Amino acid sequence: MDAKKTYEFWLADSYFDETTKEELRGIAGNEKEIEDRFYRDLEFGTGGLRGVIGAGTNRMNIYTVRKATQGLANFIRREGAQKKGVAIAFDSRNMSPEFAEEAAACFVANGIKAYIFPTLRPTPMLSFAVRELGCTAGIVVTASHNPPEYNGYKVYWEDGAQITFPKDKEIIGEVNAITDYAQVKTMPLQEAKKLELYQVIGSEIDEAYMQSLKKLVLHPEIVKEEAENLKIVYTPLHGTGNLPVRRILSELGFEKVYVVKEQELPDGNFPTVSYPNPEDPNAFSLALKLAKEVDADLILATDPDADRLGVYAKDSATGEYRSFTGNMSGMLILEYILSQRKAMEDLPENGAVVTTIVSGKMSKKIAEEYGVERIETLTGFKYIGEQIKFFEQNHEHVYLFGYEESYGCLVGTHARDKDAVVAVMALCEVAAWCKHQGMTLCDQMETLYRKYGYYKEGLFTMTLKGQEGLQKIQEMMERIRKEVPEQIAGLSVTQFRDYREDVLLDCVTKERRTTGLPKSNVLYFELEKDAWCCVRPSGTEPKIKFYVGVRGDDEKEAEEVLAVLTEGVKNLV
């Protein structure tokens, strides 16, 4: 059925409610809009759904949520795991509570117990709850840091991590097998709530989560001594982080925490920011203003579902606030964990640091310094969470820390996804330790650069919306794949990896072998002088992403090489 016929079907069929039909009548005659809403089903990808809220098969709405939930329910029943139940959480975005309740009603109608949080919670708390409650799966309704018009639906399995191969493909198969929305089982929410299969998650999960975090503090005595000396500005960017972040800081003794009032309360419209992403400097404008007023040491921002952390710190040399990338804040935490655990004679011989192929490479040097393994995965924290499961199964490594360049990390194994709440706690402990040594975070970052080299990374994206944009992105990837350059920006390509084709080419010896990672539409170039670049389509937005990284002997050299390499990568397309 083509887009126009599917549009007309939605208008005519009694299954779809009148509010949906009224929205669709409002686009009558707008052929481009009809095409965009109905040219495909919203793709249930390897992590779940992500899309613009609205009526249509290519939109996030109660019907696409129900269909995804029915597919997941069918898989759970096929696995014979329905008795263990599913945990459900949701964030502050528009329609998040409604989508979560629709999912719960669908699970109950399928005879599967639904544990649902009563109010919004961070994504990492869902990951924690899945394991704490012994559920077979979990979902969180969130679009993370996407623009306000988006929402999404992420699926987790019993280990607390997002679904990975082969379960992701099997669940996708079940979802795609539903060709008629009338196949979906559901029931009125009020009826579902009367049944034992519908259970609201109590405060005991919040308590257990907080206790798990506090056990991860390495030097409680230093935190206790220095907490009152640190001034911290915090913004939850209208998301889920406000209560858990303030609570953990308060319970550890950090009393001078100043919250950005304009961004304190949950609001799915995100009225003070155009893009609720702590990677975006514009998201910090109000926090920076408050920091200057109170003379803060540290500025922290969490994204709407509180799995990413953005950081600024005051540079005592200049008096200005300096931004930290996800790689930089990750390295501060990593160095602290490894150095302090070594000093405490608590560093396991088979310890491992896990990161992604597009994350910063300073961790290679830090891992070598402390004699721990460094393991790379595909992009996406679910692959880091999967490694924790493997470690528990084969006992080859002990998980020490995981991070990715996109402002996400995980200390501990209480969750199996990136956790901005524990990241706030860990970074504030690092800041307290630095203050105890007479340093700032900026001073410590400079120490790491001098010790390991000036690593700099960059990311730029191209946004290409709609069916035409998707086609252009695919054409770009194929052109680069077929025309592998010998040099990029004057730097020789020493190794090329095509993860979709599972090919690793040594450009010096011409030897070919497999990548050792799951197949994914990603192209990676290892360059001379510790430089690298990577190209991949976004899995959640209509974008193609270009990652670059370099190492210099000083900051000026690193920045110059990074600028040249960035221009060279742009020329690939």
What single string gives the DSSP state of each residue in 126-162? HHHHHHHTT-SEEEEE--TTS-TTEEEEEEEETTSSB
For residues 1 and 175, the model is more confident at 175
Non-local (6+) Cβ contacts of 5 within 8 A are none
- The pLDDT tens digits of the residues spanning 204-223 come to 999 999 999 999 999 999 99
> Tokens in use for 382?
């679910």
Q: Give the pLDDT band of residue 540 (cuts 50, 70, 90).
A: low
What residues act catalytically?
144
Nearest-angstrom CA–CA distance, 401 and 409: 8
**Full 3-state SS string of 191-238:** HHHCCCCEEECCHHHHHHHHHHHHCCCCCHHHHHHHHHHCCEEEECCC
Alpha helices by DSSP H, listed for 344-492, are 362-370, 381-394, 420-436, 441-452, 466-482
Q: Give the pLDDT band of residue 251 (cuts 50, 70, 90).
A: very high
Among 140, 231, 62, smallest CA distance to 415 is for 140
Domain ranges of the chain: 40-207, 217-452, 454-570
Domains 217-452 and 454-570 share a fold: no
Residues in the chain: 573
pLDDT of 421 above 80: yes
DSSP-derived letter for residue 486 is S
The pLDDT score that the predictor gives to residue 464 is 87
Q: What CATH architecture is 40-207?
A: 3-Layer(aba) Sandwich (3.40)
> Tokens in use for 455?
């690593």
CB 427, CB 353: distance < 8 Å: no
CATH superfamily of 454-570: Alpha-D-phosphohexomutase, C-terminal domain (3.30.310.50)
Nearest-angstrom CA–CA distance, 71 and 168: 11
- The pLDDT tens digits of the residues spanning 464-502 come to 888 788 889 999 999 999 989 999 999 999 999 999 999
The pLDDT score that the predictor gives to residue 538 is 83
Share of the chain above pLDDT 90, in %: 93
Residue written as token pair 């979990």? 138
pTM of the model: 0.95
Q: Give the pLDDT band of residue 541 (cuts 50, 70, 90).
A: confident
The pLDDT score that the predictor gives to residue 451 is 97
**217-452 classified as CATH 3.90.1150.10:** no
Q: First vs last Cα of the chain: how many Å apart?
A: 34
- The pLDDT tens digits of the residues spanning 182-191 come to 889 999 999 9
CB 128, CB 209: distance < 8 Å: yes
Chain mean position to CA 569: 25
